A = this chain, B = another copy of it.
Amino acid sequence: TTRTTTASANAPKLTFPIILLLLQVIFIILFALHSDYGHEPKTLTEHELFSKVNTLIIASRHRGSVQYPNGTFDPNIIVISEPHRGINDLYSMFQDIHIMIFIGFGFLMTFLKRYGYSAVGYNFLIAAFVLEWALLIRGYMFDFDFDTKKFPIDVERIIVADFVAAAILISFGALLGKTTPTQLIIMCLIEVVLQSVNEWIGLRRFCAFDIGESMFVHVFGAYFGIAVSIMLYDRALTTNTHVEEKEKPVYHSDLFSMVGTLFLFCFWPSFNAGVAAAGDARLRAVVNTYISISASVLLTYILSSVLGKGKFEMVHIQNATLAGGVAVGTVADKIIRPAGALLVGSLAGSLSTVGFKIILPILKKLKIHDTCGVNNLHGMPGILAAVVGIILASMPNYSLYNDNLARSCFHGVSRTPLQQVGYQAATLGVTLLIAIGGGLITGFILRLPIFNKKDVLTYYDDDTYWDTPADFHYIDRQEKDRLIVLERDVLHA
């Protein structure tokens, strides 16, 4: 099918492929220079184990007079290695997270009637681009070995790259339908760097805990995206009926969107527990998330019904149901008890539903246009997560915050609960600052004429950048027919 529409005449024919090709060439060079494989943890084979035991036996016989205080043995013989995790520990959760990124976020955004190809297609493009770029940026920033001039790539690193992709896809949600693919690539390029800088500050400098990345991914991604959206605002978004009409779902597009929702729901425990410490911390991350996100489903149904006067709205069910996963993220591996998880999830589901029904329209009037409502699913529940983290930090026995402290931290292991409270709050503050500041600057850059700002009449419309099938063009006509029919039905009723 090779139909050309007037809209396609505006399409930037070569900017996109040239920029993306250039970046890919640079990526290949950087990977060639500085990346290498990580290693799987070495498991002792039975042979190695007995070899060590045997050495011990021989040593014990030859040094019969050696004292073993505390029941321990010569530390020279036994090397106790740092726990290091590989495929057997992380791969299953990695794949869950991978599905969240590509299927979960991808299909969640297919709800618009004429923007399904772009939603799932740009999600695919952004995620694949960010995986490569995040591996590089994270490698240089967190893992670079100045001796070998290399950074390693292993299962834990590819999980982290997926986390970065989540942040950028949340920003994309705020902008859905309003950008060109070139603008998206430029945004990825900037946001990955800023997101990583922010996370480096929070984790390495402030030693904040945020196991499910509610601040580093959800708050950052949401407010970065909203800040970009503010810069790209066009008043036609809220005044042009043609544009507004396209910012709606059809029946089956809402069902496609539920594919995304349900995968996100099911795999959220893996997101929050993915990089948690093995053992009880990881179990708590799974259990707390499982319970919290279920609670947000129930409160979403309750509030959607109340606010909709007995009718549920799909946009709530698709989004607010998941807010419990976000809100419990910062403290998912801490001892908040199952009832705490229920409470956090209930608050989050309520907050998010109210956000969609009441706050979203208010923001729209304030010229803050957020297509997917990421403020409601990721922004506010992420701030709630941060607040829960701040409260919990004041309770050292529950928050176990000192597990996160290392020598590299300010005040190291001797930090007091109150100091940790301060650092948790500082992390939220810095996150909001970098996200909003970075987003505004990025939005300014994206407005530059070279990036071919889109014609607002082509918003929410696949046809601008996609070859569309015959029935796509029929939808408009169908719409008109429908209105005529409905009017006639009303007249005859």
Contact = CB atoms under 8 A, between A and B. Distances in A.
9 contacts: A11-B309, A31-B339, A50-B56, A103-B266, A117-B255, A121-B258, A121-B314, A128-B297, A473-B486
Given A106-B262, A251-B471, A279 B40 contact: yes
Contacts of A279: 40, 42
Nearest to A482: B474
A478 B469 contact: no
Given A99-B266, A339-B32, A466 B52 contact: no
Task: Please tell me how many copies of the chain the complex holds.
Answer: 3
Contacts of A299: 24
A275 to B, nearest CB: 13
Contacts of A234: none
B56 A121 contact: no
Interface stretch (A12-20, A221-229, A376-384, A429-437): A12-20
Contacts of A338: 31, 35-37, 135, 153
Interface string A113-156: 10011001100110011011001000000000000000001110
Interface stretch (A167-175, A280-288, A359-367): A280-288
A308 B50 contact: no
A308 B3 CA distance: 11
Nearest to A291: B132
B337 A116 contact: no
A283 B37 contact: yes
A8 interface: yes
B467 A262 contact: no
Interface in A260-275: 261-263, 265-267, 270, 273
Interface string A64-89: 10001001110000111101001111
A422 B254 CA distance: 51
Interface stretch (A90-98, A189-197, A411-419, A440-448): A90-98
A426 interface: no
A186 to B, nearest CB: 15
A148 B477 CA distance: 67
A53 B56 contact: yes
A51 to B, nearest CB: 6
A27 interface: yes
A302 interface: yes
A250 B252 CA distance: 11
A252 B252 contact: yes
A102 B339 contact: no
Contact of A120 (B14, B32, B255): B255
Nearest to A132: B294
A95 B266 contact: yes
Nearest to A55: B71
Contacts of A250: 469-471
Contacts of A13: 309-310
Given A31-B338, A44-B46, A301-B20, A87 B254 contact: no
B46 A81 contact: yes
A435 B40 CA distance: 37
A474 B480 CA distance: 11
A8 B467 contact: no
Contact of A465 (B107, B154, B158, B311): B311
Contacts of A50: 52-53, 56, 73, 78
Contacts of A479: 470
Contact of A310 (B12, B58, B72, B270): B12
Given A102-B266, A124-B262, A297-B128, A283 B38 contact: yes
A84 to B, nearest CB: 12
A52 B72 CA distance: 9
A180 to B, nearest CB: 10
